Amino acid sequence: MDEDIMESEVRTVVDAASARILTPRAGECLVCYVFRQLGEFGCDGTHRFALTFRDRTAPRATALLERLGSMGACCCDCEMFRNAYWVSSHPWFTGAEWGEVIGTGFRSEEPIDLRNAFGIDEPPAKTIYLCCQLVRRGSTQPCGNWTRKSRW
Ligand SMILES: [Zn+2]
Ligand SMILES: [Zn+2]
C-alpha cells in the first residue's frame, strides 16, 4: 500500500469536510458565522473567520477589520465575543434536532428551560442550538441574536 496515496486521499476528505463547514450558510450573519467557526476550530489569534466571511459574502466590506477594531476586536476572532458582541435578549434558540443543521449547539448537564430563559415556546432541552436570524447578502451586520457590548 502506497502511504503517500493514502495520506493524500485522507487529506482530500478532510479538506472537503472543512470546506463545507467553512462556507457561510445562505443568509448567515458575520457574528453567527464566526461564533460557529470558533466552536468548531477555535481561535488561532487572527481574524481568519471574519476574513473568510468577508471574502465569501461581502468582499466590498474593506473596512470590516477597522470597524471590528474600533469595537474592541482589533486582533482576533474571539475578541468579537469578549469585547464587541453579546447574545441579545431575543436570540433564536431551538432544542429541536433540525437546529443541528443550521445552528451552533450548546450542551448542558441540566435541561435548559427555553420558556423561562428566552421566552421560546419549547420544552426544556439539554442541547440547544443558536440559529442565525439571517441578514441580507453582502451585509456584515449581526442578526438579532447579538447586541453590542457596552464597554462601560
Ligand atoms: Zn482570539
Ligand atoms: Zn446571525
Least distant ligand from the CA of 104: 2
If you measure from the C-alpha of residue 111 to the centroid of ligand 2, how many angstroms do you get, rounded to a whole number? 24
- The stretch 108-129 carries a mean pLDDT of 93
If you measure from the C-alpha of residue 32 to the centroid of ligand 2, how many angstroms do you get, rounded to a whole number? 4
pLDDT band at 22 (very low <50, low <70, confident <90, very high): confident
Domain ranges of the chain: 3-92+132-148
The average confidence (pLDDT) of the chain is 90
pLDDT of 51 reads 97
- Residue ranges of alpha helices (H) inside 58-129 are 64-70, 79, 99-102, 114-118
Residues in the chain: 152
How far apart CA 21 and CA 104 sit, in angstroms, is 12
Ligand 1 is an ion; residues with CB less than 5 A from it: 43, 76, 78
Whether the predicted pLDDT of 123 surpasses 50: yes
If you measure from the C-alpha of residue 56 to the centroid of ligand 1, how many angstroms do you get, rounded to a whole number? 21
* Residue 127 cell numbers, joined: 442541547
pLDDT band at 1 (very low <50, low <70, confident <90, very high): low
If you measure from the C-alpha of residue 70 to the centroid of ligand 2, how many angstroms do you get, rounded to a whole number? 20
pLDDT of 152 reads 46
Phi then psi dihedrals of residue 122, to 5 deg: -140, 155
Q: What is the pLDDT of residues 54-112, one digit of tens each?
A: 999 999 999 999 999 999 999 999 999 999 999 998 999 999 999 988 899 989 999 99
* Residue 109 cell numbers, joined: 448537564
pLDDT of 151 reads 63
